[in-house]
Amino acid sequence: MNNTEEKIEVKEDEKHLLLDHNYDNIQELNHPLPSWWNTIWAISIVFSIGYFVYYQFMGGPTLVEEFQTEYSEIIVKQTEFKRKESLFDDSYYQKIIADGGLEKGKEVYEINCLPCHLKDGVGDTGPNLTDDYWLIAKGTPESIYSVIFNGSEENGMPIWSEVISKDEIYQAVSYVMTFKNTFKKGKKPQGEKIVDK
């Protein structure tokens, strides 16, 4: 290590920036902040004053109030979307059937419906789907779709639209329709007798 003092050279155009003090032979240059930075800093102070006044003294909404407003808008949109999706579309249903919906519906049924309605729809916790009595639905694709989509809390039917896709609901409907009036031995009839016209 060299103990000889090194001469500090300050460039001619920086001499005016040299501060009038030193610590341990260290001298500092006072480079000012760029003007764009100072401008942003000044704007942020003005903004913060306005922000504080608005939210503290002029009745600006709290975070909870903002959340409640936005959440209520979301609920309205979700409700409208669900209402539209819950409407049965026969042309879409026919398209699903033509696209192998029956085979896919069997898979959907076996994964989701089998525990309550058993194999071939003879009923267990859920009603027998093979007779001409219907507890909630009316034996039509439209009414079965509505029951699967919206569920029935009082009858223990889950809201399947929260679990499976729209296509899977249509596929399940197509498969459930194959049980209709097959009159397989199972759970006793429940609900209203529906006579096809």
58 has pLDDT over 80: yes
Question: Could you tell me if 106 and 97 are in contact, meaning their C-beta atoms sit under 8 angstroms apart?
Answer: no
Question: What average pLDDT does this structure show over 147-161?
Answer: 93
Rounded to two decimals, the pTM is: 0.64
Asked whether the beta carbons of 113 and 127 are under 8 A apart, the reply is no
Q: What is the rounded distance in angstroms from the CA atom of residue 123 to the CA atom of residue 108?
A: 16
Express each pLDDT in 112-151 by its tens digit: 999 999 999 999 999 999 999 999 999 999 999 999 999 9
Given a cut of 90, is residue 196 above it in pLDDT? no
Pairwise pLDDT comparison (174 vs 28), residue with the higher score: 174
Mean residue pLDDT across the chain:
89
Three-state secondary structure call for residue 19: strand
Residue 26 has pLDDT above 80, yes or no: no
pLDDT at residue 1 is higher than 50: no
Determine the average pLDDT of the residues in 78-82: 88
* Position 92 pLDDT exceeds 70: yes
Task: Read off the amino acid at residue 124.
Answer: D
* Residues in contact with 193: Cβ distance below 8 Å, sequence separation at least 6, in sequence order: 132, 133
Looking at residues 70-76, what average pLDDT do you find? 96
In the CATH hierarchy, which top-level class contains the domain 85-193? mainly alpha
Convert the pLDDT of each residue in 160-171 to its tens digit: 999 999 999 999
Percent of the chain with pLDDT over 90: 73
**Which of 133, 130, 111 lies closest to 120, judged by CA?**
130
Please report the pLDDT score of residue 82 as a whole number: 86
Domain boundaries defined on the chain? 13-60, 85-193
Tell me how far apart the alpha carbons of residues 130 and 123 are, in angstroms, rounded to a whole number: 9
Judged against a pLDDT cut of 70, whether residue 2 lies above it is answered with: no
Instruction: Give the mean pLDDT of 54-71.
Output: 93
